[in-house]
Amino acid sequence: MTEATPNGAGRIISMSAVTKRFGDFAALKAVDLEVGLGERVVVCGPSGSGKSTLIRCINQLERHDEGRIVVDGIELNDDVKNITSVRREVGMVFQQFNLFPHLTVLQNLTLAPMRARKTPKSEAEALARRYLERVRIPEQAEKYPAQLSGGQQQRVAIARSLCMQPKIMLFDEPTSALDPEMIKEVLDVMIELAEDGMTMVCVTHEMGFARKVADKMVFMDEGQIVEVGTPTAFFSAPESERTKQFLSQILAH
Amino acid sequence: MVGRPLVGRRLRLLAYILPTAALAGCGGNYNWGWYVVMPTTTQGQTNIQFLLGGLWTTISLSLLAIAISVTLGLLVALPGLSTRPAWRSVNRIYVELFRAIPILVMLLWVYYGLPVVLDIKLDVFAAGVIALALCDSAFEAEIFRGGIQSISRGQAEAADSLGLSYWDKMRYVILPQAIRRILPPLGNQFVYMLKMSSLVSVIGLSELTRRANELVVNQYRPLEIYTFLVLEYLVLILIVSQGVRWLERRLQADERQGR
């Protein structure tokens, strides 16, 4: 594993002046963002502010219209090969889990390593079982996703991404679709991952999690990054009026 | 409310007239000659053998045409799902064109026209397979497109985010889920294809319908022979629908396991 270098040398994600439009609506307006190797970034902001679009541009689930995105030294342009090789290095966890319902948990985990990395089956299965162990559900390997609880499904989804042994993990509101009592088991897995030095970009409203693991807080509003700062500064002394307002709304109760 | 009883009376009248007419036609004046297809007589046996002789041709014609049209349909459906307008228009043009051509017209055109255009020799069987497959593929393409579109976008995004190639995504993630949903309309098309294969008799392929026609010409027993023909198709189609039902049940069992 790479050593955590929060503000250190290696930049692994670099976005400059990235703009994304959906028709006439600009979801991202000339956004700049740098993420260092091993850095944990938490992105927050009101709904419709462009947080999801931002991280979906990193693995090109959304193609950006303007600006430059470089991930792990590869520029994301029209070259499909570049996009595929970046996707193999970047894992993503979705709000709705998006597990493959027709495959068992084990098959969900081994599919990508076997097809995209040409890992032999036995090796892929050993890898899968190791990661299931790590997200604490080794006993569910032979079940189908629908037989699991939401929290378990999301942990399988995390394990599925980890099986590709990515350098970066993106989380798009990973706990927003979960029942309250299942949020903790997912966050615990994410905290462990952060402690192991994984580079992470998380869109989440779990401010407790953010305080605990984030090296950098990013606040977005109306397609722009309004404020970037350390969690301490961000929570205790936010600079912009908009951030203050947002924080008071979500931390009010 | 004067109209009501009048309509009622007319309907009742019809209800009497129709069966009476039918009975007069069938039971009354027509002398059935079931001997032509009676397995207990030598004559009947020879005739049945002749009629059933087209069975394999009908089956292999339909199976080949189905296999080709499903493959072609899938290949045409895929560009229809593309984000690029150029690819989508390839799909649209193909579907609109081949969906608009009546099967019988297509058959005649392929059999008489294609050899001239391409300067090749085409036997009746090949012409039949090509015409049926082309016409049907447009419908298959729409069935596939609808089925694939019904799978949530999150599935494709998950596959993409894992770095799976387009073909792996289709083969291992999207199509296995789509196939469960398109099986009923696909089964419909199989049955339809089996029935439409009778049209190939027009260009002289010796399948079930052609053989029935030939026998009618020298036995003068159209009603009996065509009734036998109806039963032949009925049996074939019942077998096909049972097969599709069985497949559906099997896939649903998988699904239930998954739920």
pLDDT digits (tens, 9 = 90+) for B115-126: 999 999 899 999
Q: Residue A30: left if φ>0, alpha if ψ -120 to 50, beta else—which one?
A: left
3-state secondary structure (DSSP) of residue A10:
coil
With an 8 Å Cβ cutoff, are B258 and A94 in contact?
Answer: no
- Residue A93 token pair: 């966890």
From chain B, pick out residues whose CB is under 8 angstroms from the CB of A143. none
pLDDT of residue B254: 65
Sheet holding A74-75, edge to edge: A25-36, A11-22, A66-71, A74-75
Dihedrals φ, ψ of A252, to 5°? -60, -40
The alpha-carbon radius of gyration of chain A (Å, integer) is 18
Find the angle CA(A112)-CA(A113)-CA(A114) to the nearest 5 degrees. 90
From chain A, pick out residues whose CB is under 8 angstroms from the CB of B83. none
Give the minimum alpha-carbon distance from B35 to chain A in angstroms, rounded to a whole number.
55
> How many residue pairs bridge chain A and chain B with CB atoms within 8 Å of each other?
73
Is A59 an interface residue toward B (CB < 8 Å)?
Answer: yes
With an 8 Å Cβ cutoff, are A164 and B162 in contact?
Answer: yes
Facing A88 at nearest CB: one of B155, B163, B172: B163
Which residues of B have a CB under 8 Å from any CB of A?
Answer: 152, 154-155, 157-165, 168, 172-173, 176-177, 254-255, 257-259
Asked if residue A227 lies in contact with residue A219, where contact means CB atoms within 8 angstroms, the answer is yes
Q: Give the Å distances, CA to CA, from B150 to B75, B153, B179, B182.
A: 18, 9, 11, 10
Residue ranges in A69-140 assigned as alpha helix (H): 80-89, 105-116, 121-134
pLDDT of residue A5: 45
Asked if residue A8 lies in contact with residue A197, where contact means CB atoms within 8 angstroms, the answer is no
pLDDT(A7) > 50 = no
With an 8 Å Cβ cutoff, are A98 and B157 in contact?
Answer: yes
- What is the distance between the alpha carbons of residues B52 and A186, in angstroms, rounded to a whole number? 66
**Residue A43: Cβ within 10 Å count:** 27
Which amino acid makes up residue A12? I
- Among chain B residues, the shortest Cα distance to A111 is held by B172
Residue B32 or A201, more confident: A201
Asked if residue A132 lies in contact with residue A140, where contact means CB atoms within 8 angstroms, the answer is yes
pLDDT digits (tens, 9 = 90+) for A33-74: 999 999 999 999 999 999 999 999 999 999 999 999 999 999
Give the minimum alpha-carbon distance from A111 to chain B in angstroms, rounded to a whole number.
8
Facing A146 at nearest CB: one of B159, B172, B259: B259
Q: Which position has the token pair 């969900």?
A: A108
Q: Which position has the token pair 């989804």?
A: A157
With an 8 Å Cβ cutoff, are B163 and A164 in contact?
Answer: yes
Q: Which position has the token pair 């068992």?
A: A104
Q: Please tell me the number of Cα atoms within 13 Å of B30 on its side-chain side.
A: 14
The alpha-carbon radius of gyration of chain B (Å, integer) is 24
Is A131 an interface residue toward B (CB < 8 Å)?
Answer: no
From chain A, pick out residues whose CB is under 8 angstroms from the CB of B255. 102
pLDDT of residue B259: 44
- Average pLDDT of B221-242? 93
Give the minimum alpha-carbon distance from B83 to chain A in angstroms, rounded to a whole number.
12
- Residue A212 token pair: 């605990």
Is A176 an interface residue toward B (CB < 8 Å)?
Answer: no
From chain B, pick out residues whose CB is under 8 angstroms from the CB of A112. 162-164
A44 burial via Cβ count (<10 Å: 0-12, 13-18, 19+):
buried
With an 8 Å Cβ cutoff, are B177 and A102 in contact?
Answer: yes
With an 8 Å Cβ cutoff, are A87 and B176 in contact?
Answer: no
Give the minimum alpha-carbon distance from B109 to chain A in angstroms, rounded to a whole number.
42
Asked if residue B231 lies in contact with residue B217, where contact means CB atoms within 8 angstroms, the answer is no
Give the minimum alpha-carbon distance from B90 to chain A in angstroms, rounded to a whole number.
22
- Among chain A residues, the shortest Cα distance to B159 is held by A112
Strand partners, A169: A91, A200
pLDDT of residue B5: 55
Which amino acid makes up residue A162? L
pLDDT digits (tens, 9 = 90+) for B74-84: 999 999 999 89
With an 8 Å Cβ cutoff, are A92 and B154 in contact?
Answer: no
Q: Give the Å distances, CA to CA, from B191 to A35, B38, B143, B175, B233.
A: 59, 28, 15, 22, 10
Sheet holding A40-44, edge to edge: A90-93, A168-172, A199-203, A40-44, A216-221, A224-229
pLDDT digits (tens, 9 = 90+) for B183-229: 999 999 999 999 999 999 999 999 999 999 999 998 899 999 999 99
**CB interface of A with B, residues 75-114, below 8 Å:** 84-85, 87-88, 90-92, 94, 96, 98-103, 111-112
Residue ranges in chain B assigned as alpha helix (H): 3-23, 42-52, 55-80, 85-100, 103-108, 114-118, 124-149, 153-161, 166-168, 175-196, 208-219, 222-258
Report the complex ipTM: 0.92
Give the minimum alpha-carbon distance from A226 to chain B in angstroms, rounded to a whole number.
28
pLDDT band at A80 (very low <50, low <70, confident <90, very high): confident
User: Max alpha carbon distance in chain B (Å)?
Assistant: 75
- Average pLDDT of B161-180? 94
Residues 6+ apart with CB under 8 A from A50: A20, A27, A28, A31, A220, A222, A223, A224
3-state secondary structure (DSSP) of residue A62:
coil
pLDDT band at B19 (very low <50, low <70, confident <90, very high): low
Q: Give how far the C-alpha of residue B189 lies from the chain's centroid of Cα atoms, to the nearest Å.
A: 5
Find the helix or strand (DSSP H, E) in which A208 lies: helix A207-213
CB contact burial B169-198 (16+ within 10 A = b; e otherwise): bbebbbbbbbbbbbbeebbebbbbbbebbb
Find the helix or strand (DSSP H, E) in which A169 lies: strand A168-172
Torsion B22-B27-B28-B31 (CA) sign: positive
With an 8 Å Cβ cutoff, are A161 and B155 in contact?
Answer: no
Residues 6+ apart with CB under 8 A from A91: A161, A162, A164, A166, A168, A169, A170, B161, B162
pLDDT(A91) > 60 = yes
Give the minimum alpha-carbon distance from B82 to chain A in angstroms, rounded to a whole number.
15
pTM of the complete model: 0.83
Across chain B, mean pLDDT equals 89
pLDDT(B257) > 70 = no
Residues 6+ apart with CB under 8 A from A221: A45, A46, A49, A242, A246
pLDDT of residue B169: 96
Give the minimum alpha-carbon distance from B171 to chain A in angstroms, rounded to a whole number.
11
From chain A, pick out residues whose CB is under 8 angstroms from the CB of B257. 144
pLDDT(A186) > 80 = yes
